[in-house]
Amino acid sequence: MIEDDFFATIKFKSGEEIFAKIAASEETDRTMLLVSHPITVEEVKMRGKAFGYKFEPWLKTSREDMFIIDLDNVLTISESTDVEMICYYEDFIKKSTKNTHTKLDRNMGHLGSVNDAKISLEKLFKIDPASKE
């Protein structure tokens, strides 16, 4: 049985801390957490009293957005009702999940080969391709 989703901070026994949308799932012998788009949050202090937050994906080399965590690895869970934090989280997730790759086309600039670039650079710097340095 899966409980309703909620936003929370999870503190692991390892000391790691993440913020995510979470749902709990009761298995026959243990409780699992379904964690969606987990992020790490770091407070960044600036000069004076101003500060901000730095958000990063929890696992930087994974393209997955859903993880299953055994509750045995969790030290504590704190449900969040902080509207500002939830808005920051949702904005970060929206921006990071957008397809940011631009399709290349000929209108974007010169397309050529490595050999063409090498010849152009040799001409520019007046290097004789026959001479080996």
Report the CATH number that the domain containing residue 84 is assigned in CATH: 2.30.30.100
| pLDDT in the model for residue 15 | 93
How many domains does the structure of the chain reveal? 1
Tens digits of per-residue pLDDT, 67-83? 999 888 999 999 999 99
Domain assignment present for residue 105? The answer is: no
Domain assignment present for residue 26? The answer is: yes
Integer Cα distance of 17 and 33 in angstroms: 15
| pLDDT in the model for residue 96 | 81
Host domain of residue 46: 6-97
Domain assignment present for residue 125? The answer is: no
**Residue-by-residue DSSP string for 26-45:** E-SS-EEEEEEEEEEEEEEE
| C-alpha closest to that of 11 among 41, 36, 31 | 41
* 79 within 8 A of 8, measured Cβ to Cβ: yes
Domain assignment present for residue 77? The answer is: yes
Q: Which amino acid is at 125?
A: F
Tens digits of per-residue pLDDT, 83-132? 999 999 999 988 887 655 566 666 766 666 778 777 777 787 877 666 65
Tens digits of per-residue pLDDT, 8-48? 999 999 999 999 999 988 877 888 899 999 999 998 887 77
Domain assignment present for residue 104? The answer is: no
Domain assignment present for residue 124? The answer is: no
pTM, two decimal places: 0.66
Give the angle 84-86-90 at the CA atoms, nearest 5°: 120
Q: What are phi and psi of 115, to 5 degrees?
A: -65, -40
Domain assignment present for residue 119? The answer is: no
Helix (H) or strand (E) holding 102: none
Domain assignment present for residue 113? The answer is: no
